[in-house]
Amino acid sequence: MPIILKPVAAQRIVITGASSGIGLAIAEAAAATGARLMLSARNEPALREIADRLALDGADVAILAADMADEDAAERIATAATDRFGGFDTWVNNAAAGIFGTVSETPIADQRRVFDVGYWGTVAGSLAAARRLRQTGGAIINIGSVLGDRTMIQQGSYSAMKHAVKGFTDALRVELLEADAPVAVTLIKPSAMHTPFPQHARNFMDAPARLPPVLYDPRLVARAVLFAAAHPRRAITVGSFGEGATWGDMLAPGLLDRAMASFGTEVQQTGQAPPAETADNLWESRSDGSVESNQPQSVRRTSLWLEAQLRPVAATLIAAGLVALPLAIAQARQRQPRLRQRPRR
């Protein structure tokens, strides 16, 4: 059965983890198009504030406070979206929890919590969405990470969770293809994003945490998500730096291992402690409502690699043109008649 996705402006979109960072960026971008939104996160006051703000600009927004680690969270969100909007067209699994610290020093309970929210929450959300979208068609979009391809030191638990998200997403996509279901399944793989993640993550390092450069604008991920909501794609990587790390891991994994062992910890530490009201939301919600981190770092607002993936034909033509241009110039110079030198008197 062909996969036919509606324009985003005509869609009803579910977004988990919508109270900050990437999830909030997606919500704002989707609302700006006119899509109707079901937003979920643990922090109900933050969700209400976001919904009220978006509604002032004419957005139709519903909210449901839920912890994706709860077994019934996904079904409650799906039911709420059906009750409010009659269903949904795109489901975005974005909720996640993070930890900075070595796997040997991080309590198993905390590592399990990362999986309960980020992996099992994604599984439950995807399956709840798939059961409904098999009948109506639509898109399931899972927010993975470039760390699902290449593990980062001091983020071992989070990296392992994102590896699992990738494996599950690929499995679900193939199963739906086998069943000829009209459902697109996309994995979005952000590079390091300038979100409140370092403030929200539990930190076992001996210094405050930060994400290593290069950092990108979270709104680039929102752009990728909204594109995938209307155009079936297998996977989209946001940020060429992250894509480079993925290729580096395939071509020279041992070299990257040694590089991380040498300076991977240092580049993830800062002298700026997070505000107390935002720190460590692993087990309970903290202050939310911001798309970007409050840490002063250089942020890339564009990604040519992202644009190339969204417009592959145009990118190929441009690349071919860039290669052909100097060759054409060289050939033209070779064809030019050489001027005869006048004999000296």
Q: What is the pLDDT of residues 22-63, one digit of tens each?
A: 999 999 999 999 999 999 999 999 999 999 999 999 999 999
In the chain, domain spans: 8-311
Lowest mean pLDDT among 41-50, 142-151, 272-281: 272-281
**Phi, then psi, of 230 in degrees rounded to 5:** -115, -10
What pLDDT does 88 receive? 98
Confidence band (pLDDT; 50, 70, 90) for 325?
very low
Confidence band (pLDDT; 50, 70, 90) for 8?
very high
At residue 329, does pLDDT exceed 70? Answer: no
What pLDDT does 142 receive? 98
Per residue in 54-96, pLDDT (tens digit) is 999 999 999 999 999 999 999 999 999 999 999 999 999 999 9
**Phi, then psi, of 237 in degrees rounded to 5:** -100, 135
What pLDDT does 319 receive? 47
At residue 201, does pLDDT exceed 80? Answer: yes
Global pTM value? 0.90
Contacts of 178 (CB under 8 A, 6+ apart): none
Fold (topology level) of 8-311: Rossmann fold (3.40.50)
What pLDDT does 343 receive? 54
What pLDDT does 341 receive? 54
Residue among 78, 77, 81 nearest 66 (CA):
77
Mean pLDDT over all residues of the chain?
92
Confidence band (pLDDT; 50, 70, 90) for 322?
very low
Lowest mean pLDDT among 166-175, 275-284, 316-325: 316-325
Q: Are 259 and 212 within 8 A, CB to CB?
A: no
**Which residues are catalytic, by number?**
158
**Phi, then psi, of 12 in degrees rounded to 5:** -110, 120
Is the Cα dihedral 194, 200, 204, 206 positive or negative? positive
